[in-house]
């Protein structure tokens, strides 16, 4: 069986560079390799599980509404907690792909029941989101399987956004964006550190990466589409304070990868990058989605790359649509950006294809 | 080693952070070559994209002081310059394809300007129709997948506008039936062509995008049909869906693609769900539907996992 995965060859290869101190738990590894073989889940299966889970949740809520069962408050809370706990337990106990859809459905239904139940009590409106954050954090701590962790991280960040919305503290969205941007950049660029720190973090890495991407998208949508929330437009650049330097940091990394050593050329590249990024400070969603594109390309995360490109096109369009200039000014802005890129292309095209043909 | 294997080995060994970092950088992350290629296409796409957007906004501004001759002349000069660039310059094919895509957008601008100046009173669908017709040759000659996608979007848009502005008597079911047929036809042609003609390479994302569009239209169409009064196009759509879904499943099994084997069953699940809701809307039914979705999706996933194992096994033999 070992031959199927060439496990020994791979471990030998690592041993060569790591030296004699390298030890691997070969039995567990073999089991894990067999397990991913049986449990291989591509994008199709993940999307199917999540879509199925949501569809089932919607019809279950339909059932609650038609049956009028949403009136018994204690019943709802108890069932909500039982459902969430049940989902986490099944997930932890069996770790089977075919159970994922049921687990998600039961898990989300649990949260809905809990929300219905708590809303019957006249409690502070902030309690529910805080409760959601705590429950999700606890369940991530117990089980780190992909889909449940993914949904839990989304629930945590969604609850934080909800807290901002129900308290009308819309300027805190910038704080949210800054924190998520930093987490996302760290998560993408420090993959090796995160996966070798602890088993839990290693298992959590993939769901964390995709969930952070979606969480940043949500935060960017708040600043990217005017009128979604009542936000002070004069402070809209606050999110850019961290996002733009993060993009520049990636430019720095790419310069190193491409071995651009000439200081003059480096200055020109930074100059151009800053020139292009400065005008986007008032539309943080644009550099934000650009950062996502660069990060996803850097670590070769294909699904994220496609999502980021679609987001980028949408945010650029939305930004110019919302802009309070005449169409003529907008046209000049777009046109000059385009010409700038064509100039960059003409200057770099020879260098970029110096050693290869496309 | 792929990413998953690196993660697993790191989890069950004392592999140093530095070692993992190096392995990821060398075998998983984008190479200098990939970065050069990416930047090359990023710059030209952004350049052409923003410039074309600028031109579209400029003519949308409809500058009253600008004489008609200058307006139309500018767009036509642009089209001639760009086609000249494509025919005469020495840039490689992909760059020319991107520029041609931009030029096709200019053709749309030309018709808008024409309509603006002469107040032709044409419907929106007329505009999309002529735009579609007049870029057809370029689309076929360049055979560039993103341009094909724009072209198909234009065709679909034309149909939708035609139904809204001219054919008011078309039922929504009939519109979705037509859209389904258009996209299925394109899908079948693109699959057929890429199989039979060696120099026609249709990228996977392109066929998947049309397949997804077709399945979305059929799902919505049938769901509407279930809830509405019976009409002839419903029977036709039902028949077509049965035939094409069966063909799609068979095709998915033949080319070993989990994509077709997941979107078609999921569409069937949604259709059955709306049928169940149509039969009864009482509480028991909603609960049953919830259970039905969970069980059926789980069965589909079980099947997909099983078939993947079989394919992997066959590949190793």
Position A23 scores a pLDDT of 85
**Do residues B244 and B197 make contact, with C-beta atoms less than 8 angstroms apart?**
no
Q: How far is A34 from chain B (nearest CA, A)?
A: 11
Angle at B231 between CA B225 and CA B234, to 5 degrees: 45
How many structural domains compose chain A?
1
Q: How many interchain CB pairs under 8 A, A with B? A: 268
Q: Which residues in chain A are closer than 8 Å to B6, comparing Cβ atoms?
A: 195
CB B54 to CB A333 under 8 A? Answer: yes
Q: How far apart are CA A24 and CA A9, in angstroms?
A: 13
- Residues 32-51, chain B, touching A (beta carbon < 8 A): 32-40, 43-44, 46-51
Q: Which residues of A touch B282 (CB under 8 A)?
A: 66
Residue in B closest to A69 by C-alpha: B283
**How many angstroms separate the CA of residue A169 from the nearest CA in chain B?**
35
Instruction: Check CB contact under 8 Å for A11 and B262.
Output: no
- CA quadruple B259, B265, B267, B272: dihedral, nearest 10: -170
Determine phi and psi for B66, rounding to 5 degrees: -80, 120
pLDDT at A4 (0 to 100)? 59
| Element of type H or E holding B291 | helix B283-316
Residue A337 lies in a domain: no
Instruction: Tell me what pLDDT residue A355 has.
Output: 55
Predicted pLDDT of residue B223: 94
pLDDT in tens, B96-154: 999 999 999 999 999 988 888 887 777 888 999 999 999 999 999 888 999 999 999 99
| Residue whose tokens read 């039936």 | B177
**How many C-beta atoms surround the C-beta of residue A302 within 10 A?**
10
Asked if residue A9 belongs to a domain, the reply is yes
**In chain B, residues 94-123 whose CB comes closer than 8 Å to chain A:** 94
Three-class DSSP category at A25 = coil
Q: Which of A9, A20, A56 to mutate to test the interface with B (most CBs of B within 10 A)?
A: A56
Residue A223 lies in a domain: no
Q: For residue A95, is it within any domain?
A: no
Give the Cα separation of B20 and B6 in Å (integer).
7
Asked if residue A273 is part of any domain, the answer here is: no
DSSP assignment, residue A121? S
- Asked if A42 and B258 come within 8 Å (Cβ–Cβ), the reply is yes
What is the token pair recorded at B235? 């029977």
Which two three-digit tokens encode residue A320? 């110019």
Mean pLDDT by 10 residues, chain A (358 residues): 68 85 86 78 87 93 82 86 95 87 94 90 90 96 92 97 91 93 96 92 94 96 78 80 95 92 91 89 92 96 95 91 83 90 88 63
- Give me the domain span that covers residue A13: 1-37
Partner residue facing A63 (CB), from B4, B10, B287: B287
Residue B169: predicted pLDDT: 87
Alpha-carbon span B12 to A38, nearest angstrom: 19
Angle in degrees, CA B278, B279, B280, rounded to 5: 95
**Paired strand residues for A154:** none
A28 inside domain: yes
Rounded distance, CA A14 to CA A29, Å?
14
CB contact under 8 A, B297 and A48: yes
- The SS3 assignment for A225 reads coil
Whole-number pLDDT of residue A195: 93
In A, which residues are within 8 Å of B53 by CB distance?
A: 320, 334, 338
Residues of A in contact with B75 (CB under 8 A): none
CA distance to B8, B53, B58, B89, B204, per residue, from A332 (Å): 52, 10, 8, 27, 37
Q: What is the distance in angstroms between the Cα of A165 and the nearest Cα belonging to chain B?
A: 31
Q: What is the dihedral of CA B291, B292, B297, B302, to 10 degrees?
A: 90
Q: Which residues of A26-57 are buried (b: 16+ CB within 10 A; e: fewer)?
A: eeebbebbeeeeebbbeebbbebbbbbbebbb
Chain A's closest residue to B57, CA to CA, is A331
The pLDDT of residue A1: 43
Of A56, A193, A348, the CB nearest to B39: A348
In a domain, A20, yes or no: yes
| Residue to substitute from A10, A30, A48, A261, interface B, most B β-carbons within 10 A | A48
pLDDT in tens, B290-305: 999 999 999 999 999 8
Shortest alpha-carbon distance between residue B187 and chain A (Å): 20
Locate tokens 């370029």: which residue? B138
Q: What is the mean pLDDT of chain B?
A: 91
Residue B231 has pLDDT above 60, yes or no: yes
Instruction: Evaluate whether A148 touches A104 at the Cβ level (below 8 Å).
Output: yes
Q: How confident is the model at residue B228 (pLDDT cuts 50, 70, 90)?
A: confident
Which one of A334, A350, A351 makes the best mutation probe of the B interface by having the most chain B beta carbons within 10 Å? A334
Position A2 scores a pLDDT of 45
Name the nearest CA neighbour of A221 among A313, A158, A315, A297.
Answer: A315
B201 touches chain A (CB under 8 A): no
Q: What angle do CA B152, B157, B162 make, to 5 degrees?
A: 130
Look at residue B117 in the predicted model and tell me its pLDDT.
Answer: 83
- Look up the pTM and report it: 0.90
- Between CA B228 and CA B210 the distance in angstroms is 27
A57 near A109, Cβ under 8 Å?
yes
Contact A358 B94 (CB under 8 A): yes
- The 3-state secondary structure of chain A reads CHHHHCHHHHHHHHHHHHCCCCCECHHHHHHHHHHHHHCCCCHHHHHHHHHHHHHHHHHHHHHHHHHCHHHCHHHHHHHHHHHHHHHHHHHHHHCCHHHHHHHHHHHHHHHHHHHHHHHHCCCCCCHHHHHHHHHHHHHHHHCCCHHHHHHHHHHHHHHHHHHHHHCCCCCHHHHHHHHHHHHHHHHHHCHHHHHHHCHHHHHHHHHHHHHHHHHHHHHHHHHHCCCCCCCCHHHHHHHHHHHHHHHHHHHHHHHHHCCCCCHHHHHHHHHHHHHHHHHHHHCCHHHHHHHHHHHHHHHCCHHHHHHHHHHHHHHHHHHHHHCCCCHHHHHHHHHHHHHHHHHHHHHHHHHHCCCCCC
| % of chain B residues with pLDDT over 90 | 62
Distance in Å, alpha carbon of A282 to nearest chain B alpha carbon: 18
Residues of A in contact with B56 (CB under 8 A): 331
**H or E, element range at A10:** helix A7-18
A25, closest residue in chain B (CA to CA): B12
Report how many helices (DSSP H) and strands (DSSP E) chain B contains, helices first.
12, 0
Q: Name the token pair of A312.
A: 């980028």
**Residue A2 maps to a domain:** yes
ipTM value greater than 0.85: yes
pLDDT of residue B260: 94
Chain A nearest-CA distance from B36, in A, is 5
pLDDT at position B70, please? 87
Could you please report the per-residue DSSP string of B145-213?
Answer: HHHHHHHHHHHHHHHHHHHHHT-TT--HHHHHHHHHHHHHHHHHHHHHHHHH-TT----HHHHHHHHHH
């Amino acid at each position: 069986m070992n031959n199927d995965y060439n496990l020994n060859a791979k471990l030998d290869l690592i041993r060569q560079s790591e030296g004699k101190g390298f030890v691997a738990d070969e039995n567990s590894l073999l089991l894990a390799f067999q397990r991913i073989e049986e449990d291989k889940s591509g994008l199709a299966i993940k999307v199917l599980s999540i879509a199925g889970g949501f569809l089932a949740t919607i019809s279950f809520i339909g059932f609650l509404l038609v049956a009028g069962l949403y009136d018994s408050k204690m019943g709802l809370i108890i069932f909500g907690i039982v459902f969430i706990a049940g989902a986490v337990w099944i997930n932890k106990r069996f770790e089977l792909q075919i159970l994922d859809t049921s687990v998600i459905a039961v898990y989300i239904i649990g949260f809905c029941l809990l929300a219905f139940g708590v809303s019957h009590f006249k409690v502070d409106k902030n309690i529910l989101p805080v409760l959601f954050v705590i429950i999700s954090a606890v369940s991530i701590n117990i089980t780190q399987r992909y889909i449940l962790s993914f949904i839990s991280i989304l629930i945590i960040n969604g609850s934080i956004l909800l807290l901002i919305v129900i308290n009308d503290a819309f300027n805190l969205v910038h704080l949210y964006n800054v924190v998520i941007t930093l987490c996302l950049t760290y998560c993408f660029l420090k993959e090796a550190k995160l996966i070798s720190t602890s088993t839990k973090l290693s298992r959590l890495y993939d769901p964390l990466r995709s969930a952070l991407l979606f969480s940043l998208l949500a935060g960017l949508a708040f600043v990217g589409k005017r009128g979604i929330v009542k936000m002070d437009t004069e402070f809209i650049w606050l999110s850019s304070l961290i996002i733009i330097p993060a993009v520049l940091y990636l430019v720095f990394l790419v310069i190193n990868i491409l071995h651009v050593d000439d200081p003059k050329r480096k200055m020109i590249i930074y100059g151009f990058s800053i020139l292009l990024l400065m005008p986007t400070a008032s539309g943080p969603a644009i550099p934000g989605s650009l950062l996502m594109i660069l990060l996803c390309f850097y670590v070769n995360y294909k699904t994220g790359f496609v999502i980021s490109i679609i987001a980028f096109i949408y945010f650029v369009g939305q930004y110019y649509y919302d802009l309070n200039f005449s169409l003529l000014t907008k046209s000049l802005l777009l046109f000059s950006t385009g010409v700038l890129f064509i100039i960059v292309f003409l200057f770099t095209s020879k260098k970029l294809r110096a050693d290869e043909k496309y | 080693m792929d990413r998953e294997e690196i993660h697993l080995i790191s989890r069950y060994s004392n592999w140093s952070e530095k070692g993992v970092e190096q392995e990821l950088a060398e075998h998983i992350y984008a190479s200098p070559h990939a970065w050069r290629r990416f930047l090359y296409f990023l710059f030209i796409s952004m350049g052409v994209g923003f410039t074309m957007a600028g031109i579209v906004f400029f003519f949308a501004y409809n500058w009253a002081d600008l004489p008609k001759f200058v307006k139309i002349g500018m767009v036509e000069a642009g089209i001639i310059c760009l086609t000249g660039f494509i025919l005469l310059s020495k840039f490689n094919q992909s760059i020319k394809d991107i520029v041609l895509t931009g030029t096709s957008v200019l053709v749309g601008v030309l018709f808008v300007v024409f309509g603006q100046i002469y107040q032709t009173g044409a419907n929106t669908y007329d505009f999309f129709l002529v735009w579609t017709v007049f870029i057809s040759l370029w689309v076929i000659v360049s055979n560039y997948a993103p341009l094909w996608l724009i072209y198909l979007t234009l065709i679909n848009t034309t149909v939708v506008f035609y139904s809204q502005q001219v054919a008011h008597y078309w039922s929504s079911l009939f519109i979705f039936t037509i859209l389904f047929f258009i996209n299925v036809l394109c899908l079948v042609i693109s699959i057929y062509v890429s199989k039979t003609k060696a120099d026609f390479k249709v990228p996977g994302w392109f066929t998947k995008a049309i397949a997804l569009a077709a399945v979305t239209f059929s799902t919505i169409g049938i769901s509407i049909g279930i809830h509405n009064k019976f009409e002839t196009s419903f029977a036709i759509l039902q028949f077509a869906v049965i035939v094409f879904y069966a063909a799609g499943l068979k095709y998915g099994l033949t080319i070993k693609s989990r994509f077709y084997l997941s979107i078609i069953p999921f569409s069937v699940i949604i259709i059955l769900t709306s049928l169940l809701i149509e039969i009864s809307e009482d509480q028991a039914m909603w609960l049953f539907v919830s259970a039905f979705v969970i069980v059926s999706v789980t069965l589909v996933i079980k099947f997909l996992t099983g078939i993947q194992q079989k394919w992997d096994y066959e590949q190793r033999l």
